[in-house]
Amino acid sequence: MIFHLLIRALRLRCARCGKGKLFSHGFHMYEHCSYCGWTFEREEGYWTGAMGINLVVTESVVAIGVIPPAIMQAPVVPLLTIGIGAAILLPILLYRHSKSFWMALDFMLHPVRLL
């Protein structure tokens, strides 16, 4: 079950049925699943967890990419360029998947009846 939910999250599909798409285009998310009708936003502030996932992943990638070269005394300008660029681009690139993984995690913790 957990494996299926993670695959659905990776494919940006509904955590409940796995068939409905989460996003129509760009960053615009559907309100309900087109297949099973499940409401994606459960309550106000629901996406706070997705922001947390996005922050943790971004900061981890930046730390892994910048700290080891900094310890080996790499030049500062490339480190800043990589670190700042990654800190700006990664949250944008991970936006949709962080929401999807948050829904899958929420579905794991608070399951509803599967179809």
More confident site: 19 or 111: 19
The percentage of the chain sitting over the pLDDT mark of 90, rounded to a whole number, equals 77
pLDDT tens digits along 51-68 = 999 999 999 999 999 999
pLDDT at 29 exceeding the cut of 90: yes
Average pLDDT, the chain: 92
pLDDT at 19 exceeding the cut of 80: yes
What is the full DSSP assignment across 11-79? TTB-TTTS-SBSEEETTEEPSB-TTT--BS--STTTTHHHHHHHHHHHHHHHHHHHHHHHHTT--HHHH
